[in-house]
Structure 1
């Protein structure tokens, strides 16, 4: 009977009755309610938001705060869920380590506060121990993933502001999904706008399925009112996908650029056809030449001049590519990647033309094979390669095209 009266008092916040009962028998606090999922009187008072009861119970028996209910939840978990700052402060004063405790769902109290949208309690716990907010959950999700998943923009903003960690904002779960993937998948424009305005977005990354947030948007939400605005935001970051592969891109392309620069330099100092080994004797008629001069500079004047011009372009453009690739290593600006790519294309095309001119100058069977044919062949090869790249890239949008055709309907037929 006394136990029931105590639990009734805790439920309705009757501090006077509780005091009277505990003056008679303080051991009543050790009783666990079998009708309330094995909760003690403190758990019940917290669930009902009865600050006065919580204060009185903790004065008499503070260690009661350390007990868990049948679901593995601590008293701080319950306070985080109910959202009363006064109760959370009192519990944190007794056992601040409770911020790290996990309940039956593997969530600590900060996770619970974030999911429930209880900003004030979350801020209080962050002041006590912000490191607990970085704890990962099921499938590698962060507390920020939880905020987006449960549509809690308020607690998301608090966490991003307080933690201020760009890496946490761009963190991926075990499926490679970031906050943006979650926000786009659940069509939360306000989250995308906030992340953009906060300046915490660094890049669009691909999940384990090879899709970025922009891919998900294009596949699923073309007909929604938020599509255009969300797409305009995401496209600003789509080019930063390149930044993910910049080290690999720079490494592979740098090798090619250095190789082309070496080839162009070698062609300049050791031209096709070789160099004169000695000065031309003065008594011999004809044009003068000196040791070290290119033989073809005298034998094929016009063609050799074209060879030198194209070789200079190959050498300089490869050096420019190296410069931009070196800059790319410390920057995620797409302009450097674009300039490096253009420079490499010019360099490769030029070295191809240089090779063709070398063949013409050194092979007597190619006297009629003019420079225009060399340029035509090199241009054709590059054009075909670019078209092939475009076709392969467009295949990724095949599903989108099919959906568009299906939406429009089959072509009309006329009798």
Structure 2
């Protein structure tokens, strides 16, 4: 009999259900004693048999409180997950009418039906569930995640907007999970730029909240994988007043925070302490971070341009095959060529070789910069950063030379001399500017190295410092 009941639930067969109830009025009461992990109500809800569910609940409404033995899902949990159609939304309404307190029921991970509906973006079901038990929207999982955390974690922006509008609670917006992560931390870590903009422009989310590691949302962005969205996200965060943790420490006079113990002097060092050294270190790190970000953007743009220029050389590509040679080629007034090869290479191999050499140099230089920046090498000194900047200069200069060859190819013979002269003057001026910059920075780097070497030699010759007594009577 019980097996027949489960088969009827699979098929959603009302005649079979009614027949079984006539044959055994206690068949629904015997469900608790069987060996199945799910009740027939779970199965009917899962498959969307609304009429079948209504009949079962009319005979035994207590089944709405039953949970399966594995995930601890109630029928309302199942309906909330599956509410992708009007049929399932109706199922949610039926179950809520029978027992609205099941909105508060928790599965093995501490999630209630509202959590599951938010994770899947089931907007209509979410409205019904919150309307039935608003308190369920404030519950958290065993990991300390609120319904807002789950919306962001599963990238459900519409569900997030709905819950934020209904709850209207600043404390929920700044709530933290087990790891101290707010919803802004999660959105930044996952590069959800639309969610970030919504939170910053339409809510009162705390932009400088710290997680358990002491990181703000801006710190999370700096430590995450590189992405084309990074600049937009950083601009949005900065516009909203976001700071890095180290900047927050430096903004409070006299408070150094976690790095304070690194600069507590011993009595033998009092004559050599440089005040506010940590502020200088902060400025240096900020400078290096900005330089790295700028170099990544510039190198990416140059690599894109060089790649496109390599695939589309000046003059285009031959579209047909013409393997004629000798007198046949002269009669047809064409040059032997193959489809897909460069027209410029066929007519002017010298210019094509120069074009290809300049463009390839620019492409390789920009790829080298990208590779060095994403490999995680510790470019935390200005000397290494200057090396990267010099490589960028090489990439930009070779890109300018590529442009020069391209314009010469496009220019008609009648005005070629005049245009060539103008381009030559421009290139010479450009090379002079780049040379002066390179010379200036080289002198600066050499000067810094000389000063460090001089200080190092001076320390070796300097007598050992006096050791002060620690006796209080001193």
Q: What TM-score, normalized to structure 2?
A: 0.52
Specify the alignment match of 2:151 in structure 1.
Answer: 147
Assess, with a 3 A threshold, how the Cα gap between structure 1 residues 29 and 191 changes in structure 2: closer, same or farther: same
Is 2:343 the partner of 1:407?
A: no
The answer to whether the 8 Å contact 1:3/1:28 transfers is: yes
Q: How does 1:141-220 map to 2 (within 5 A)?
A: 141-220=145-224
**What is the CA–CA distance in structure 2 between the aligned matches of 1:37 and 1:397, rounded to whole Å?**
64
Assess, with a 3 A threshold, how the Cα gap between structure 1 residues 160 and 234 changes in structure 2: closer, same or farther: same
1:27 aligned counterpart, secondary structure:
coil
Specify the alignment match of 2:328 in structure 1.
Answer: none
Is 2:94 the partner of 1:90?
A: yes
**What is the CA–CA distance in structure 2 between the aligned matches of 1:94 and 1:4, rounded to whole Å?**
26
Specify the alignment match of 1:16 in structure 2.
Answer: 15
Aligned residues: 279
Question: 5+ unaligned residues in a row in structure 2: which ranges?
Answer: 256-273, 296-368, 378-383, 392-474
**What is the CA–CA distance in structure 2 between the aligned matches of 1:401 and 1:212, rounded to whole Å?**
21
Q: Deviations over 1:175-195 (max 9, x none)?
A: 221111111111212211221
Specify the alignment match of 1:229 in structure 2.
Answer: 232
Is 2:76 the partner of 1:76?
A: yes
Specify the alignment match of 2:265 in structure 1.
Answer: none
**What is the CA–CA distance in structure 1 between the aligned matches of 2:283 and 2:102, rounded to whole Å?**
51
Q: Deviations over 1:340-385 (max 9, x none)?
A: xxxxxxxxxxxxxxxxxxxxxxxxxxxxxxxxxxxxxxxxxxxx86
Q: CA deviation at 1:226?
A: 1.7
Match of 1:389 among 237, 256, 279: 279
Q: How does 1:278-317 map to 2 (within 5 A)?
A: none
Specify the alignment match of 1:58 in structure 2.
Answer: 57
The answer to whether the 8 Å contact 2:218/2:244 transfers is: no
Q: CA RMSD in A?
A: 3.5
Q: CA deviation at 1:114?
A: 1.3
- Which deviates more from structure 2 when the two are superposed, residues 144-153 or residues 399-408? 399-408
Q: CA deviation at 1:35?
A: 10
The answer to whether the 8 Å contact 1:32/1:39 transfers is: no
**What is the CA–CA distance in structure 1 between the aligned matches of 2:33 and 2:193, rounded to whole Å?**
45
- Which deviates more from structure 2 when the two are superposed, residues 122-131 or residues 397-406? 397-406
Q: How does 1:228-377 map to 2 (within 5 A)?
A: 228-239=231-242
Assess, with a 3 A threshold, how the Cα gap between structure 1 residues 388 and 195 changes in structure 2: closer, same or farther: closer
Is 2:97 the partner of 1:131?
A: no
2:27 aligned counterpart, secondary structure:
helix
The answer to whether the 8 Å contact 1:106/1:138 transfers is: yes
Q: What TM-score, normalized to structure 1?
A: 0.59
The answer to whether the 8 Å contact 2:115/2:150 transfers is: yes
Q: CA deviation at 1:387?
A: 7.2
The answer to whether the 8 Å contact 2:148/2:183 transfers is: yes
1:139 aligned counterpart, secondary structure:
coil
Give runs of ≥4 in structure 1 deviating > 3 Å. 30-37, 238-242, 384-388, 392-406, 408-413
Q: Deviations over 1:251-293 (max 9, x none)?
A: x89xxxxxxxxxxxxxxxxxxxxxxxxxxxxxxxxxxxxxxxx
